[in-house]
Amino acid sequence: MLKRLLLFLSLSVFSVGYSFAQEHEAHEEGAAHESHATAEEHGDGHEEEGFNMGSMIMHHILDEHGWEFAHGVKLPLPVILYSKEYGLAIFSSARFDEGNGEYGPYVNHHEKIALKDDHHATVYDFSITKNVASLILSAVLLVLIFTAVAKGYKKNAGKAPKGIQSLLEPVITTIKDEVVKPSIGPKYEAYLPYMLTLFFFILINNLVGLTPGAANLTGNIAVTLTLALITFVIVHFKANKNYWGHIFKPPGVPLWLLPLFWIIEIIGVFMKPASLTIRLFANITGGHIILLSFIGLIFMFKNYAVGGGVWAIGTFMSLIEILVAFIQAYIFTLLSSMYIGSAIEEHHDH
């Protein structure tokens, strides 16, 4: 309940901020937004009108080309583009920073790359953005962590777990025994590797996302959508005839009602991945927006009392966000398991 209230509040803050930002930016076009967006980081209070909460927040929760850890400290990342007009192009994101957002035929407008002469032409952007870099980093971290854990099991075979192995073993067994086993049923073992990967991937990215300067990966709808779609594909590839029968010929439904049921069931089928996508995305992004809004208050008011208040509330909210990081990873895994469980269930009790 509290979570929903906070999310609602944060989304309303965000939407007000965002529309304000758009209005504001309509007045001053161009590269000026860059300095507004990052005003928070160097905390300069020279330009009273300069701080724009909405664009600051959007800058932090959206993706970008190049990884700006703090203002002025930017790691350039490869930009990979494909367009019909110019084919494949690979160059460093530093080129955009040098060229004031323009390089060759391309223009980087609010981290959305288009062609300079034709704004409506499609440019496929496969760049290693901040999020992709963070994605690779988290994948490498996960591989390092879990191969170390696996090594621990080989080394301490038949003995008590040690080190990182004993840190993660209760988490692994909790996912295995409390989430996957009861939700999927007797055939749960085949799905364990996926569920464990999913859980730890979401968890590590939720936690990484909370560190300052890091990417907001699990708060990006493309990421959560992809994860939800993988679950969706598994569900429908593994579904047995009970599942399909339940959708196309639910037992005990009169024939003339069937079309209505098809509509409802098919909406239900697509609702599941949609809810997975939006739940994780909204929770993580919402949390980031709340935190950033409070921090933004400092730069809006430039007042010690507000600063102190923000410090207290910000610390509290950060702790809540750590909790949310675990809860959302858990829920995504639990619901994925339940969807798979319902698709491979042998008997329906009706």
Partner 1 sequence: MELLTPGIGLIAWQLLIFLTLFFVLRKFAWKGILSALKSREDEIESALKMAEETRAEMAKLKSDNEKLLAEARSERDAILKEAKEDANRIVEESKNKATEEANRILASARESINQERASMVDGLKKEVASLSIEIAEKVMKKELATKGAHSELVSELISEAKLN
Q: How far is the CB of 249 from partner 1 (least distance, A)?
A: 34
DSSP-assigned beta bridge partners for residue 335 = none
Q: How far is the CB of 12 from partner 1 (least distance, A)?
A: 14
Site string for partner 1, 133-162 (x = CB under 8 A): --xx--x--xx--xx-xx--xx--xx----
Q: Is position 207 an interface residue for partner 1 (rule: CB under 8 A)?
A: no
- Residue partners of 216: CB distance under 8 A and separation at least 6: 60, 61, 62, 131, 209, 284, 285, 288
Q: Is position 257 an interface residue for partner 1 (rule: CB under 8 A)?
A: no
Q: How far is the CB of 226 from partner 1 (least distance, A)?
A: 4
Interface pick for partner 1 out of 203, 223, 310, 343 (rule CB under 8 A): 223
Please count the residues of the chain: 350
Could you tell me whether strands 73-75 and 78-83 are parallel, antiparallel, or unpaired per DSSP bridges? unpaired
Interface pick for partner 1 out of 88, 189, 236, 308 (rule CB under 8 A): 189
Contact indicator for 62, 111 with CB cutoff of 8 Å: yes
Q: Which two tokens stand for residue 96?
A: 């955009």
User: Would you call 291 exposed, middle or buried from its count of C-beta atoms within 10 A (0-12, 13-18, 19+)?
Assistant: buried
User: Would you call 262 exposed, middle or buried from its count of C-beta atoms within 10 A (0-12, 13-18, 19+)?
Assistant: middle
Q: Is position 187 an interface residue for partner 1 (rule: CB under 8 A)?
A: no
Q: Is position 80 an interface residue for partner 1 (rule: CB under 8 A)?
A: yes
How far, CA to CA in Å, does 348 sit from each of 21, 82, 188, 231?
52, 49, 18, 22
Q: Select the span of 39-47, 86-94, 132-140, 267-275 touching partner 1 (CB under 8 A).
A: 132-140
How far, CA to CA in Å, does 255 sit from each of 148, 243, 247, 248, 269?
57, 19, 13, 11, 21
Q: How far is the CB of 260 from partner 1 (least distance, A)?
A: 30
DSSP-assigned beta bridge partners for residue 75 = 67
Total of chain residues touching partner 1, rule CB under 8 A: 50
Q: How far is the CB of 131 from partner 1 (least distance, A)?
A: 6
Interface pick for partner 1 out of 24, 110, 181, 238 (rule CB under 8 A): 110
Contact indicator for 91, 128 with CB cutoff of 8 Å: no
Residue position matching structure tokens 């055939």 = 187
Pick 284 or 298: Cβ nearer partner 1:
284
Give the type of residue at 100. Answer: N
Contact indicator for 322, 213 with CB cutoff of 8 Å: no
DSSP state of 45: -
Site string for partner 1, 13-32 (x = CB under 8 A): -----x--------------
Pick 129 or 310: Cβ nearer partner 1:
129
Interface pick for partner 1 out of 9, 164, 171, 192 (rule CB under 8 A): 192
- Site of interaction with partner 1 (CB under 8 A): 18, 58, 61-63, 80, 110-112, 124-129, 131-132, 135-136, 139, 142-143, 146-147, 149-150, 153-154, 157-158, 169, 172-173, 176, 189, 192-194, 196-197, 201, 220-223, 225-227, 230, 285
